[in-house]
Chains A and B, each alone.
Chain A
Amino acid sequence: GNSVTQMEGPVTLSEEAFLTINCTYTATGYPSLFWYVQYPGEGLQLLLKATKADDKGSNKGFEATYRKETTSFHLEKGSVQVSDSAVYFCAFHRNKLTFGTGTQLKVEL
């Protein structure tokens, strides 16, 4: 069935480190792909999206490229900040949004 697999957390990094959070999906066809972020005590916010193969979504220094060959949508950021500490959810839309289980990111000084 349709599913999203993302790396387990927590991921702990020092400020200015490079971030990668892996995400792969199983779905029919080529669904739209999303990354959502959930800051402590808040709801989910759309971080970035890509609607077709080879598209790159980007926002706030984060990027992810839609790779249909590997059915992946890995999230990257070149230099993380303490304020990036949150839970990140990968998701795709095929009739409905299907989320991964989330990856907690902790960024320390």
Chain B
Amino acid sequence: DAMVIQNPRYQVTQFGKPVTLSCSQTLNHNVMYWYQQKSSQAPKLLFHYYDKDFNNEADTPDNFQSRRPNTSFCFLDIRSPGLGDAAMYLCATSRGAGEVSNEQFFGPGTRLTVL
């Protein structure tokens, strides 16, 4: 089945220690998104890639970076995690970015704990 895969499902890191979260997709979608979802809050878009074009949300901290080496994979790098970065990180994909073609398919998420 075509799907969005996130690894690992649970990640524990130490305060200030860089961490990378991984997302892959078999849908061959053009767009890949990263969301942050804190407990009992709405998912918040951090950034997205349309093919190789990176689009950062204005309020995404510089501590968060992303890489998309090819169509299938996208990584979220947190350079110096703080306690406030503990959250569920959701990866999603869509065929396009317009309103008609933008149905987003989500992975199961990676829950990040910062000690």
**Known contacts being A44-B90, A46-B104, is A32 close to B41, with CB within 8 Å?**
no
A2 vs B7: C-alpha distance when bound (angstroms): 32
A98 vs B4: C-alpha distance when bound (angstroms): 20
Contact B103 A46 (CB under 8 A): yes
| Number of A positions contacting B (CB below 8 A) | 21
Contact B42 A44 (CB under 8 A): no
Find A44's partner among B40, B43, B45, B100 (CB 8 Å cutoff): B43
Q: Is the interface of B mostly helix, strand, loop or mixed?
A: loop
Contact segment of B12-20, B72-80, B105-113: B105-113
Looking across the interface, which residue of chain B has its beta carbon closest to that of A97?
B104
A44 vs B41: C-alpha distance when bound (angstroms): 14
Q: How many interface contacts (CB-CB < 8 Å) are there between A and B?
A: 49
Find B99's partner among A4, A31, A42, A102 (CB 8 Å cutoff): A31
Contact B108 A101 (CB under 8 A): no
Asked if A96 CB lies within 8 Å of chain B CBs, one says yes
Asked if A61 CB lies within 8 Å of chain B CBs, one says no
Asked if B28 CB lies within 8 Å of chain A CBs, one says no
Find B45's partner among A43, A46, A51, A96 (CB 8 Å cutoff): A96
**Known contacts being A43-B106, A97-B104, is A51 close to B99, with CB within 8 Å?**
yes
Can you add 5 more A-B contacts, CB < 8 Å, to A51-B99, A96-B48? A31-B99, A41-B108, A43-B107, A51-B100, A101-B42
Residues of B within 8 A of A (CB): 4, 6, 40-43, 45, 48, 57, 90, 92, 99-100, 102-109
Give me 25 A-to-B residue pairs in the complex whose CB atoms sit less than 8 angstroms apart, sorted by A's number: A32-B100, A36-B106, A41-B108, A43-B92, A43-B107, A44-B43, A44-B104, A44-B106, A45-B106, A46-B103, A49-B103, A51-B99, A51-B100, A89-B43, A96-B45, A96-B48, A97-B45, A97-B104, A98-B42, A99-B42, A99-B43, A101-B40, A101-B42, A102-B41, A102-B42
